[in-house]
């Protein structure tokens, strides 16, 4: 493994961290490497006008030492992995109580000599496969990123774990006039890339040429969120609200007693780091805790939350494997992994036919929660108007918004077509980014505010 050479030093580091008698201590090594190749084609009158290439190779590598004693935390990081630098970091962490709000969590990133290998050929092949059915667009862009992350976690409780995970992401963006469509596909390695599968479907490309209209005045109207990535609302309205630090800091839009009813009896929501093909699927978290599914909502009632080791020690929240770091220089936080809404029993065709008038959201771009207003906002990049179960027209991009409780209480029906979107999804919290997934069946929600962008 990547950090095997440091195993003999681990006992000495933990011993140094333990000199002040902390309740808990750990050492975390992390090595994150990425190779990115970006290929772009401009098109005019059906002919290629230009091709541009950009290649980058970066590496973030370092270690963190941490000691927790009641409410005090010692936290020191280093990108110098010599024995003396590591031992000094352990001594510094043991000697001081750190104000985590003041910790500089910016890692040192090294730009390496680009070594793209087969990456250029794959990007070119995906561009060619896309242009075969999308020649009337203005531009096409394909970005391929190969990411390898190695980690080692050693704790004062006797845990010693390490692993290396690799993923490849292919992002295809097509533009025509002021419209664009984007498709992200994730693979375990370069050999699994499907050139045609990575390209947007021809039916999606055709939508760029279809006429669209503005939504009109802002109003409440039934909204249908499609399976898979439509579950982005869960991430904002449920996941972030039930992270332990959000709850403790009084910032949650679901700051209610466990067991409180927040939705219909058929509503079940689980954070599952063990599901196959999730972007955040793993055997253990960045604190060495074994990962197991956490039920957040069961039969419409709040029954759980997501925590890390610090909030476990202070508040007694049960550890389930949700202590995550963006890199070695960031201290662990309670974070989501793969957030899922359970399968329902409603036929999707019947669900779409239910509202006399409604909005069918085909794709979602950005989503966020504003703690000051208590509002979750989704940017629907593609949506269509429904009337008596029929699609009437395509709409310009619009926003869908409500409070977390309004999203949950407004659920009328959950479809039988559950799908995990394991291809795209990142979560930024305090500026720190980790990969995530969402999954859900098609859902019909009443009482949401819809407005044109």
Give the pLDDT of residue 258: 80
For residue 373, what are the contacts with CB-CB under 8 A and spacing of at least 6?
none
Q: What whole-number distance in Å separates Cα of residue 364 and Cα of residue 171?
A: 15
What tokens appear for 332 in the block?
């662990």
Give the pLDDT of residue 42: 85
Residue with tokens 């596909």: 185
- The string of pLDDT tens digits covering residues 367-414 is 999 999 999 999 999 999 999 889 999 999 999 999 999 999 999 999
- The string of pLDDT tens digits covering residues 346-378 is 999 999 998 889 999 999 998 999 999 999 999
Give the pLDDT of residue 116: 57
Report the first-to-last Cα separation within the chain, whole angstroms: 49
- The string of pLDDT tens digits covering residues 84-120 is 999 999 999 998 766 555 567 778 777 666 665 788 8
- The string of pLDDT tens digits covering residues 264-307 is 999 999 999 999 999 999 999 999 999 999 999 999 999 999 99
Q: Return the exposure string of 18-27: e unless at least 16 CB atoms fall within 10 Å of the residue's CB, then b.
A: eebebebbbb
Give the pLDDT of residue 359: 96
Q: 351 or 138, which is more confident?
A: 351
Length of the chain in residues, anyone? 453
What tokens appear for 341 in the block?
């809404």
- The string of pLDDT tens digits covering residues 61-83 is 999 999 998 888 999 999 999 99
Q: What is the mean pLDDT of the chain?
A: 91
Give the pLDDT of residue 411: 97
What tokens appear for 32 in the block?
């994150």
- The string of pLDDT tens digits covering residues 218-241 is 899 999 999 999 999 999 999 999
DSSP state of 190: G
DSSP state of 325: -
- The string of pLDDT tens digits covering residues 7-46 is 999 999 999 999 888 999 999 999 999 999 999 988 766 6
**Contact status, residue 370 vs residue 378, Cβ threshold 8 Å:** no
Q: Report all structural domains of the chain as residue ranges with CATH numbers, in order of start.
A: 4-210 (3.30.2290.10), 213-452 (no CATH)
């Amino acid at each position: 493994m990547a950090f095997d050479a440091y195993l003999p030093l681990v006992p000495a580091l933990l011993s140094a961290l333990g000199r002040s008698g902390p309740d808990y201590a750990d050492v975390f090594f992390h090595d994150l490497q990425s190779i990115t190749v970006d290929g772009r084609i401009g098109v005019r009158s059906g002919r290629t006008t230009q091709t541009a290439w950009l290649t980058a190779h970066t590496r973030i590598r370092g270690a963190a030492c941490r000691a927790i004693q009641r409410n005090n935390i010692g936290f020191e990081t280093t990108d110098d992995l010599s024995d003396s630098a590591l031992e000094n970091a352990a001594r510094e962490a043991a000697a001081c109580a750190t104000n985590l709000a003041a910790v500089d969590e910016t890692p040192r990133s090294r730009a390496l000599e680009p070594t793209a290998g087969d990456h250029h050929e794959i990007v070119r092949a995906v561009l060619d496969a896309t242009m075969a059915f999308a020649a009337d667009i203005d531009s096409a862009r394909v970005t391929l990123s190969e990411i390898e992350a190695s980690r080692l976690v050693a704790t004062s409780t006797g845990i010693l774990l390490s692993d290396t995970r690799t993923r490849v992401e292919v992002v295809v963006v097509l533009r025509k006039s002021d419209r664009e469509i984007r498709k992200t596909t994730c693979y375990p390695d370069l050999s699994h890339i499907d050139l045609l599968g990575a390209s947007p479907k021809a039916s999606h490309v055709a939508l760029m040429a279809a006429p669209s209209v503005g939504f009109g005045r802002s109003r409440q109207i039934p909204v249908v969120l499609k399976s898979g990535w439509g579950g982005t609302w869960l991430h904002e309205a449920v996941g972030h609200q039930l992270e332990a630090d959000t709850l403790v800091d009084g910032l949650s839009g679901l700051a209610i007693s466990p067991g409180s009813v927040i939705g219909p009896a058929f509503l079940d929501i689980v954070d599952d780091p063990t599901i196959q093909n999730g972007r955040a699927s793993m055997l253990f978290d960045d604190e060495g805790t074994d990962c197991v599914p956490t039920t957040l909502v069961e039969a419409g009632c709040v029954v759980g939350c997501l925590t890390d080791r610090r909030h476990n020690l202070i508040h007694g929240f049960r550890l389930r494997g949700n202590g995550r770091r963006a890199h070695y220089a960031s201290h662990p936080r309670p974070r989501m992994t793969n957030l899922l809404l359970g399968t329902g029993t409603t036929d999707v065709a019947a669900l779409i036919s239910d509202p006399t008038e409604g909005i069918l959201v085909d794709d979602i771009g950005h989503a966020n929660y504003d703690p000051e207003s208590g509002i979750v906002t989704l940017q629907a990049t593609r949506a269509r108007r429904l009337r008596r179960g029929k699609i009437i027209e395509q709409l310009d991009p619009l926003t869908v918004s409500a409070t977390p409780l309004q999203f949950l209480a407004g659920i009328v029906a959950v479809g039988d077509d559950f799908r995990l979107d394991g291809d795209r999804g990142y979560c930024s919290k305090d500026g720190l980014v980790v990969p995530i997934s969402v999954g859900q069946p098609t859902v019909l929600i009443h009482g949401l505010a819809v407005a044109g962008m």
